[in-house]
Amino acid sequence: MVDSVKLSGASDVILFDLGTTAAGVPDPTKGYVELYVRGDFATNGGGTGDGSVIIMNGVSVKMWVLGNLQFGGNGMTNNNGLASAFSLYSVNAPTPTPNQSVTLAGSSQFYGTVYAPGADLYLAGGGSNGTFVGALSGKTAYLNGNTSIRYDEALSGKGLITRFTLVSWFEDTKKQGTFPGSL
């Protein structure tokens, strides 16, 4: 549990890797991590070239954030390539965060799930990429830039919401809000 996280430089990296045995050997049974952030979580990307938050293959991460969350630049890399390996919960309890937001921006591919029913979601791709693979839930969603969303069908029947059926779809093309799409 931490109060807040702010990663802004090339050497600011959070690496989620397998735990080790007493002999220092990677242990695949120690590949589950939960991080609880009482305030804001922000990264401006960069990191080691792979991102500021890196999830290594074989590791599953759940992150709980009470404040605002911002993954900017190349801020997030999930080496599993599976949305089920990263779950982000942006919660508004016990005291609601006014105008809570979750921002996923930049040129990295995001593999994961976002459950933020009380937050505004801002998705903004940059450069030649800005792919979101997984599932998301939020109060409102703003998409800008080179952004694409793909539902990962492997998530079916998993997570907090397991009985969701798409009944109809329409693309709302009218401009709303004032999100610039870059951080």
| Tens-place pLDDT, residues 147-170 | 778 888 888 766 555 555 666 666
Please report whether residue 173 resides in a domain. no
Number of folded domains in the chain?
A: 1
What is the reported pTM? 0.79
Residue 144 three-state SS: strand
Residue 92 lies in a domain: yes
Flag whether 180 is in a domain. Answer: no
Give 34-78 pLDDT, tens digit per residue: 999 999 998 876 655 555 888 999 999 999 999 999 887 777 888
pLDDT of the residue at 128: 59
Structural domain that includes position 133: 5-18+26-155
User: What's the rounded Cα separation, in Å, for the pair 121 and 142?
Assistant: 6
How many CA within 13 A on the CB side of residue 38? 3
Q: Specify the pLDDT at position 183.
A: 40
- Where is 63: in which H helix or E strand? strand 60-65
26 HSE (CA, 13 A, CB side): 10
Could you tell me if residue 171 is inside a domain? no
Q: What is the pLDDT of residue 139?
A: 85
Task: Please state the rounded mean pLDDT for residues 98-119.
Answer: 85
Contacts 24+ apart (CB under 8 A), 166-169: none
| C-alpha to C-alpha distance for 182 and 12, rounded to whole angstroms | 20
Q: Give domain status of residue 106, yes or no.
A: yes
140 pLDDT exceeds 50? yes
Report the Cα 40 to chain-centroid distance in Å. Answer: 13
Residue 94: cis peptide before it, omega within 30 degrees of 0: yes
pLDDT class for 182, splitting at 50, 70, 90?
very low
72: Cβ–Cβ under 8 A, 6 or more apart, which residues?
42, 43, 44, 45, 103, 105, 106, 183
Mean pLDDT, the chain, rounded, equals: 80
Residue 100 lies in a domain: yes
Is 39 a member of any domain? yes
Helix (H, G, I), strand (E, B) or coil at 168: coil
7 or 164: whose pLDDT is higher? 7
pLDDT top residue among 142 and 108: 142
| Residue 141 predicted with pLDDT over 90 | no
Mean pLDDT of all residues in 88-115? 81
What is the reported pLDDT for 48? 55
Does 161 map to a domain? no
Query: Does residue 88 or residue 155 have the better pLDDT?
Result: 88
